[in-house]
Amino acid sequence: MARKETYRSKNIHKLSPENSPILDKPRFTIDPEVQQAFLEGKVILIDKPLHWTSFDMIRKLRSLLRIKKIGHAGTLDPLATGLLIICTGKFTKKINEYMAAEKEYTGSFTLGAVTPTYDLESDPEQFKDYSFVTPELLQQTIKKFIGNIQQLPPIYSAIKKDGEALYQLARRGEEVALQPRPVTIKEFEITNIALPVVDFRVVCSTGTYIRSLANDVGASVACGAYLSKLCRTRIGDFDLKDGVSLEKFEETLKVS
């Protein structure tokens, strides 16, 4: 069987007019006062659903609000869920400030295999025995990654080299010399173990790739691992518990 071509920027949640609510025109009248408030500037906390890209959400909200000045403060991969900060109007000036804030994630990594993208955007391969992995070994391993560390980003990432995203070079099979980047892992804890799946919580600096963290833990315990679930629960002082689903947000816009 031929291996499927991978990476989110090619296989991300591509939407067409016939199957996508994102591209649908709003079927309701927005409250003029509500719309004006968003034109002037607001911060929207959205609980991003699985499979949507961050840009999908921007397109949808731009359509709902009928505004142009809108952006998000920190990309979430299509296979990640959780907090997405969206800014409109004057608050778009704060996007860089919000992006630089500390992040918190919960999720799972699966031991015993790796993937080219370090997550489930590509198929698991290089399967290995993981039965020797104990809770004690995992606890000892994660301690190595707490603090100021040097992290290699995934080759399948949007980081640019000479103006071109790394994933584009990787898809063409070109060799890329990755450079480690300084990141800070403030907290890293194991919350549950049901081998081969390990649940975790991480508090980290901006620029940290949780996919890379999962891959590095797998390499350190010598059986491989890939990120199998991820949710962003906090960005700075903004918490997921204060976020709303797209459906609930849409309801707040309708004329009563």
Which residues are the active-site residues?
Answer: 77
CA 29 from centre of chain: 32
CB 85 within 8 A of CB 69: no
What token pair was written down for 235?
């960005």
25 Cβ contact list (under 8 Å, min separation 6):
63
